[in-house]
Every structure is written in C-alpha cells, then in structure tokens.
C-alpha cells in the first residue's frame, strides 16, 4: 500500500501563488507517472498536470504557463507550483501515483482563491 500525502493548500488571493507537495511512501522512481488532479464543487475530477518517470510533462490548457509540476526522486516528492492563481482554480487538489501494480490517490488538499 502506497501512501500519498499532500500539503501546501490554503487560501490565497487572486494573482497569488501556492506550492503543493505530495510525499510518497514508495519510491516515485517506480511510478509510471505522478500527477495532480483537482475537483471543484459540482464538477468532475480533472487532470491538472502529470509528469512521467522520464520527466516529460503535460498540463490541462487552463493552467499552461501558470503551473509547473516537478519531481524530486531523492525525496520521493512531487510538487505543483501554482502562480497567477485565479478564483476558478479553487478546488480540492489530489495527488495521483500510477505504479505498475496499482493506481494510488492522496487524501486531497483544499485550494481556495479569493477574488
């Protein structure tokens, strides 16, 4: 069982920044991809950003140029740097780890952007 623990969420004004962290109990170098998803009230969960074991990344169009995903294999941690935040970024953000044997989720961290 892999544990993914998110941190770094909170309340921020529009235009501000936050950095989310996802600490894994398993070596993330054993994952295919690590990613961040989000779910706003009344909406489906959506992929925000994903990074492969080789370091390639992809982002949902709405965050391109504002968010950056990165990974530190030595610390088994994945980050999501979020800049120029907008009220529509408000959601619960979930860390996801796609490993060979299973797909794991963190418990989520709330991000609220006030206008």
Give pLDDT tens digits for 54-76. 999 999 999 999 999 999 999 99
Tell whether the model's pLDDT for residue 100 goes beyond 90.
no
Task: Note the pLDDT tens digit of each residue in 20-45.
Answer: 999 999 999 888 999 999 999 999 99
pLDDT on residue 101: 86
**Cα 40 to Cα 104: distance, rounded to the nearest angstrom:** 20
pLDDT on residue 11: 98
Portion of the chain with pLDDT greater than 70, in percent: 100
DSSP 13-57: ETT--EEEEEEESS-GGGEEEEEEEEE-TTS--EEEEEEETT--E
């Amino acid at each position: 069982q892999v544990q993914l623990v998110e941190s770094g969420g909170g309340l921020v004004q529009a235009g501000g920044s936050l950095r989310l962290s996802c600490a894994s109990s398993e070596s993330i170098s054993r994952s295919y991809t690590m990613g961040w998803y989000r779910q706003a009230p009344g909406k489906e969960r959506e992929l925000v950003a994903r990074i492969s074991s080789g370091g390639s990344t992809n982002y949902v169009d709405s965050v391109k140029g504002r968010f950056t995903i990165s990974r530190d294999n030595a610390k088994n941690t994945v980050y999501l740097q979020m800049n120029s935040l907008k009220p529509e970024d408000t959601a619960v953000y979930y860390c996801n780890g796609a490993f060979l044997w299973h797909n794991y989720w963190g418990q989520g961290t709330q991000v609220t952007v006030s206008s």
